Chain A
């Protein structure tokens, strides 16, 4: 988690605190705020458009719980939970449906 930085309360900006991407529930969205650890190897994720500041939605988990399907930049991408775990997102406050 983010340390030493003030976190705006969700009431102020519509965001909740930072969580790792695989902690989102299906249907929830957030904005990528950081890549944790050394998960920059090869940079495939970044070339696929997952940058700090990119909006991402967790579409669903696979039937066996892993991998996850994301919606990002208008397309769908599947990555493993172990990879999603390193992506820190600011979760959008859940909208009432």
Chain B
């Protein structure tokens, strides 16, 4: 049975033809991908790295399936980031996942032809059949440009299909061209441009190496040879590849490149960026022949919008307003569906409770599974709201302006504007935030951003803040609208940001070595986002949260239920509080009490700290279990009351004071209590070193800060 399925899968795989879709960022590549494949897409990851792997099926002929691989956007075949490297590995046949590539479609922004053609000319040399999807013809003509696509096709010697992907124009022609070109057998590509004799001779031995050792065609080998001569980075990637795959020829390559560079220097040719120079000379001449420029309007709509949105004074104000609205919506609008989910889960719990006979199974289902699933679902509205806004801002092009406006500030903590988006996303959840660091080209910046991202107060801390503030911070208001509760919440966010700044400076200075940062970023024109695409992304992200993160939370809440319920007390009719004191969780809480007592925490909070090391929001459900409040969440009055009424059994004094609540919140600001974050950091940095450093430094920070708050507050007489 299993082998039959495997056989079928193998047959299917044999009948599948892989094609790649590549292009510069902001060329509408994703829109073309969506138009070609519909939403028959599969989103996954390339193994070992979290570069998103997106594939979709194109109906083929004679039962063949054509699989479109949407590769990460890149500007050239010289790698600059992890994303670039994946695309380049696939295109040069070094990636195991997509080894049988048959055709490459290059998405090209017609309004920005020359820079886009840089990549096109490089890809043509790889030897696959190549089709250019000339997108955004409408924008080009608005800019007063007329592009002779037939002449372009003749000069490049490959099909050029004009499309307007967001209006679905030209997609059928593109599809037909793919079906036709995929039949073409791989031939040696024709050269489009000629190198000077001096250069050609200098790189010839290296070209021989690529033809012999890396399976390149003649033209591709020569181009790759020029590339490694022109770029230290490109050379180092190849040397690393040789070392990794145990090819001894790497040393040979290195010395040949050095010889070629010396050779060029004696002829007064600078080898640095020689490839870019030669290629652009050819491209500029070509563009001159295919583009006719008419009258250009001086300012497009995008420029006019931009003049307001990045204006010296209005720009930062608009930025603050936009993010204030986003946070407002997360805190207030999301509460409506959250309450609905909550009452549903509570209703379900009590319904099952009544329907099932008393016993372990019922306890497991009601207190473990239903409570756990509820804890996952209750977060969904917040996360969806945040992702909705973030993808909206990303798709309109505003995120690039945020990076542009804030680069100066980010530089003062040693980062660049590129870190803004990952850090802002981390206010929702550090996991997507850390995943978003892949676009940061400097590896040092990327690592620092990863290390400080979990200090941004994520949405999982909100339930803890909300519970503590709701229960212990008085609802006073100043000047009519500044509520003390709101200010407390705000100061928790500010504290996290301050901690991130401090940590970034320390990492920059002492722990992470690397070159100084650069900031070179394309500013795409403003675009109207596609509502269908935004909703689709929302669905994808919601699914990932519920399935991936949800699994962890569900597993933990079952474990938690077990720890809090076993061993069962011997005597019947003991109180719930007594029962949990006797349980495993109670024992652990008691064991750590001496350590956390100086922070103002008792053993019950200790239990919460232990369980929330897996995920912060678990604290709330733990507290609900400990105080035996059924179906409670952070906004429900019953849990607040239970906390307010909690008394120290020996002294009779209340366990929770506003100071304890403050100390606990501060602890949550800094502590690394999230298994998903640890897991994603391990994956992104490819070692246990950085996640371990992260846990240690954040826990230390949390402990010290909490200690300072509690002991300082006591000195000031706040207790």
Contact = CB atoms under 8 A, between A and B. Distances in A.
Interface stretch (B45-53, B467-475, B516-524, B656-664): B516-524
A62 B404 contact: yes
B279 to A, nearest CB: 9
A47 B112 contact: no
Interface string B518-535: 111111110000000000
B249 interface: no
B237 to A, nearest CB: 12
A1 interface: no
Interface residues of B, number: 49
B273 interface: yes
Nearest to A97: B298
B405 A62 contact: yes
Contacts of A64: 405, 408-409
B519 A49 contact: no
B310 A75 contact: no
Which of A42, A47, A64, A76 has the most chain B CB within a 10 Å cutoff? Answer: A47
A74 interface: yes
Interface in A34-66: 40, 42-49, 51, 53, 59-60, 62-66
B407 interface: yes
B272 A48 contact: no
Contacts of A83: 518-520
B522 A63 contact: no
Given A43-B231, A80-B519, A67 B417 contact: yes
A87 B600 CA distance: 59
B135 interface: no
A65 B233 CA distance: 31
A51 B408 contact: no
A10 B521 CA distance: 33
Contact of A62 (B112, B231, B310): B310
Interface in B285-312: 303, 307, 310-312
B520 A45 contact: yes
B115 A48 contact: yes
B404 A67 contact: yes
B64 interface: no
Nearest to A81: B408
Given A46-B273, A51-B277, A74 B80 contact: no
A79 interface: yes
Given A43-B231, A64-B405, A76 B276 contact: no
Contacts of B280: 46, 49, 51
What 4 A-B pairs are tightest by C-beta distance, nearest first? A64-B408, A43-B273, A76-B523, A46-B276
12 contacts: A43-B78, A44-B518, A63-B405, A64-B408, A69-B404, A73-B114, A74-B115, A74-B143, A76-B524, A77-B521, A78-B523, A79-B520
Interface of B: 75-76, 78, 80, 109, 111-115, 118, 143, 145, 230-233, 272-273, 276-277, 280, 284, 303, 307, 310-313, 315-316, 400, 403-405, 407-409, 411, 417, 441, 518-525
